[in-house]
Amino acid sequence: MEVKYETQITAVGRDARTFLDTNKSFILMDADLRPRLADMVVQHTVNEVQGDIVVGDKLQVGNTDFTVEQVGNDVMKNLREGGHCTIVVNSAGSLPGQIVVKGSIIPRLRVGDVVKFYAQ
């Protein structure tokens, strides 16, 4: 397994779960980058990106695995510069900062869970 990016959820904004339920997506962001958005995002520890995330890679959120279906053009730049991207789950995405993933369930988004992108 080649880990490309790994981080840990440090806070889940009060609106982040609702956003996931209604929009099928969540925003992964270092809250220090834009503290006024803390209620809407899933905050995490920012780590160094070890490799580009590509279609076919896996995403693990807690104990749930997903397959990467699409990677927007700005994702790697945003992830490297500020630990920021939007993850779209089991739905269509088309924005340059989005990663679209498919899986059997919606992730639970809990403080302490590890978020990991990897290649098998």
- pLDDT tens-digit series, residues 65-90: 999 999 999 999 999 988 899 999 99
Rounded-to-integer distance, Cα 109 and Cα 50, Å: 23
Write the DSSP assignment of 43-96 as a string of letters: EE------S---TT-EEEETTEEEEEEEE-TTHHHHHHHHS-EEEEESS---ST
**Residues of the chain predicted below pLDDT 70:** 31, 33-34
The per-type count for the chain, helices as H runs and strands as E runs, is: 2, 8
Q: Where are the domains of the chain?
A: 2-119
Check if the beta carbon of residue 84 is closer than 8 Å to that of residue 28.
yes
Q: Which pLDDT does position 39 carry in this prediction? A: 87
3-state secondary structure of 21: helix
Q: What is the structure's pLDDT at 33?
A: 64
What's residue 31's pLDDT? Answer: 63
Which phi and psi angles does 54 have, rounded to 5°?
Answer: -130, 165
In CATH terms, 2-119 corresponds, of 1.10.3660.10, 3.60.70.12, 2.40.33.40, 2.40.50.100, to: 2.40.33.40
What pLDDT is recorded for position 30? 83
